[in-house]
Structure 1
Amino acid sequence: MEHQERALAAYVDQVAADPDTVGVVVIGSVARGTEREDSDVDVYLVVTADAFARSAAEDRWAWVDRRGRDYPGSYIDVKLADLDYLRRAVERADDPTRASFAGARVVFSRAEELESLVSRISRLGEDVWAERIRSHVAQAHLHGGYFLRQAEEHGDPFLLQHAAVHLTLAAARAALAADHRLMPGPKYIHRLVREVPSPAGFVAAWDAVVADPGAGTANALIAILDEWLGRDQTRDESLSVFIRDNELAWLRGTVPAEYF
């Protein structure tokens, strides 16, 4: 909307005078054109390597600027980056970071490569999506087919809830990966699992595990997931993938699958 664009332009004028500013990238609803009347403006402030290092030493990664200065309730929600941050994000950022750059718009730049870096962060190759599905199906198999059953057998209420949450997260993320959709954060999962294409009964089975975790609801969800995305993945294969993605993440320099 016009008032958000004016606020963004005022912020760019403010930071462009600083020689440490390399670029400004607008993200979120304003970048996508889906903002509400009272939406804030979300940006990445791209700074020089030295400025980024100084902020890192102070543990200052994000802040709010221009609160209430541009329209009622307005503020600029700032996250910090430098060009090396963006280069590394192209290679190995997690889903919430990648998703934050989807539809992003460079509104100020002193770096020729900035546009290219920003556009590449939210893109993944077909082989990556296929491996994501394999990983998330493995998570569902172990959390729903082993840990949840163990929780019922031993009367462990915490493990029951833990396994059910991880099963439903894994099933939802497999569905998102099948549609080449990034996961912007857990607060979006309930909505996204309804938006992406899925077989008949999948969402209802997913909701049933959330509402009433147990072996019966878990088995029903896993059966649909297997028929859809895990038909050729044996339980032994899932066990190895699960161990690789979870217990060996420290050794491989990766993160567990739920944090992809």
Structure 2
Amino acid sequence: MLRQHHQEVIDRLTNELINDNRYLALIVGGSIVKGWEQENSDVDIFLVCTNEEFQRRKENQEFHYFRTDLCNYPGGYVDGWVVDLDYMKQVASIGNEPSRSAFTDVIIAFSHTPEIPELVNRIIEYPIAEQLHRVQTFYAHFEALRWNVSEALKRDDQYYLKWAISDLVLYGGRMILAHNKILYPYHKWFMKTLDNASDKPENLMECIFQLLQDPSAANVKAFCECILNFRKWESPPEGWPSAFRVESEWHWMRGCAPVKDW
């Protein structure tokens, strides 16, 4: 259930745009549709436009949509992106997990084309065919980061340590999300999404909190054991060092996105 002042903003925007022939649909996403909002949360949107309008905006790089005039609550604003149907089709076909996750739980405020609901349903489907490869790859990165953490601790290099700890949590968490067939929402909502995963180690969030607060060898060990003892993880058949090298350092030679962008 949306808060009344957020619903009022959506209603105002809908009434303004629904008869504008430049726009095909208004899609509302972000924290307010997930139930994670605060009183002053913004209203996140995708505004789907016609091909002609998108080409006009493309020439001027006018993809950002921002309004404050529709909000009558402190700190409120509308923030989003203008896209076209082709963008949504590409997300459904080849989009990375953060791009897909942005459409999870969305509200279609209005749509003039029956394609929109069907596209949204395709976008938010977890890519089951890629699940095993993702688990194996995240496992390889997890093991590589575990080694990097040990090196950083030995050298007492705080920059190296903070980077390695952050990525160790990232890939351990992504192993859990992939196991649950949950799309990775990028960093802002990563912890919230991970905490909501149904099948995870009982003490996972506590281990993460302790590790981030105190990146000691003992807390590193506790977190790694929390992840590794949860289940028998599928490891890359070629071994994690080779898998890590190919996906982390050689991805550019194959024209592929780095694992962080999956």
Question: RMSD over aligned Cα, in angstroms?
Answer: 2.6
The equivalent of 2:162 in structure 1 is 161
- Residue of 190, 198, 201 corresponding to 2:200: 198
- Counterpart CA distance in 1 for 2:79 and 2:70 is 13
Q: Give 1:256's aligned residue.
A: 258
Q: What residue ranges of structure 2 are gaps of 5+ in the alignment? A: none
Which residue in the other structure is 1:188 paired with? 189
Which among 80, 92, 95 is matched to residue 93 of structure 1? 95
Q: 1:113 aligns with which of 115, 123, 129?
A: 115
Tell me the CA shift for residue 89 of structure 1. Answer: 0.5
Number of residue equivalences: 258
- Gap regions ≥5 residues in structure 1: none
Aligned equivalents of 2:215, 2:39: Cα separation in 1:
40
Counterpart CA distance in 2 for 1:162 and 1:94 is: 23
The answer to whether the Cα contact below 8 Å between 1:133 and 1:229 also exists between their aligned partners in 2 is no
TM-score, normalising length from structure 1? 0.85
SS in structure 2 at match of 1:228? coil
CA distance 1:234–1:153, change in 2 (3 Å) = farther
Q: Any conservation in 2 of the 1:160–1:214 contact (CA below 8 Å)?
A: no
Contact residue 63 and residue 82 of structure 2 kept, 8 A = yes
Whichever residue aligns with residue 169 of structure 1, its letter is L
- Which whole-Å deviations, capped at 9, do the CAs of 1:61-110 have from their partners, x for residues lacking one? 22312x24353344322311101100111122222222221111222223
Q: Is the 8 A contact 2:137 2:236 kept in 1?
A: no
Deviation at residue 178 of structure 1 after TM alignment: 1.8
Amino acid at match of 2:250: L
Q: Which moved more, 1:49-58 or 1:119-128?
A: 49-58
| Off by >6 Å, runs of 4+ in structure 1 | none
- Corresponding residue for 1:246? 248
Q: Which amino acid in the other structure matches residue 99 of structure 1?
A: S
The one-letter code sitting in structure 1 at the alignment partner of 2:52 is: D
Q: What SS does the corresponding residue of 2:104 show, helix, strand or coil? A: coil
Quote the residue 1:135 is aligned against: 137
Q: Would you say the 8 A contact 1:148–1:214 is kept in 2? A: no
Q: Please list, as runs of the form range in 1=range in 2, the aligned pairs for 1:59-78 lying within 5 A after superposition.
A: 59-65=61-67, 67-73=68-74, 74-78=76-80
Q: Which amino acid aligns with 1:18?
A: D
Residue 174 of structure 2 aligns to a residue in which SS?
A: helix
Mapped partners of 2:22, 2:16: distance in 1: 12
Which residue of the partner structure matches residue 126 of structure 1? 128
SS in 1 for 2:256: coil
Q: CA deviation at 1:238?
A: 1.6
Aligned-pair distance for 1:45? 0.4
CA deviation after TM superposition for structure 1 residue 4, in Å: 3.2
Secondary structure of the corresponding residue to residue 190 of structure 1: helix
Q: Retained in 2: the 8 A contact 1:48–1:82? A: yes
SS at match of 1:60: coil
Matched residue, 2:213: 211
1:20 corresponds to 2:25: no
**What percent identity do the matched residue pairs reach?**
23
